[in-house]
Amino acid sequence: MPTTALSQEELVELFLKKAAEPPPEANLILARHLRCRESCDLAHAVAEAIRQYVAPGSYQLPTPPELLPPLG
């Protein structure tokens, strides 16, 4: 992508144009997600679980037998 030198006035005009455009759909979804109390609670619970079970010296959960391959 070639770059071009913009004057200060052109740059201000570009910023004003971008600010007037509606935000992309992905940004709206992310903003809605970050305002959702359930999403924030879930993120906190996952972070706490990671800290508890990944920390050095932490209790390791046993592997469920249905996930282990048969021996022999």
pLDDT tens digit sequence for 35-68: 899 988 999 999 988 888 777 776 677 777 777 7
Q: Is residue 49 part of a domain?
A: yes
Range of the domain at 46: 22-55
Taking the C-alpha atoms of residue 31 and residue 38, their distance in angstroms, rounded to an integer, is 14
Structure tokens of 59?
A: 């209790």
pLDDT band at 13 (very low <50, low <70, confident <90, very high): very high
Q: Is residue 45 part of a domain?
A: yes
Domain count, the chain: 1
Q: What angle do CA 16, 22, 23 make, to 5 degrees?
A: 100
**What is the reported pLDDT for 12?**
92
Q: Is residue 5 part of a domain?
A: no
Residue with tokens 């999403």: 39
Global pTM reads 0.41
Q: Is residue 13 part of a domain?
A: no
Q: What angle do CA 67, 44, 64 make, to 5 degrees?
A: 10
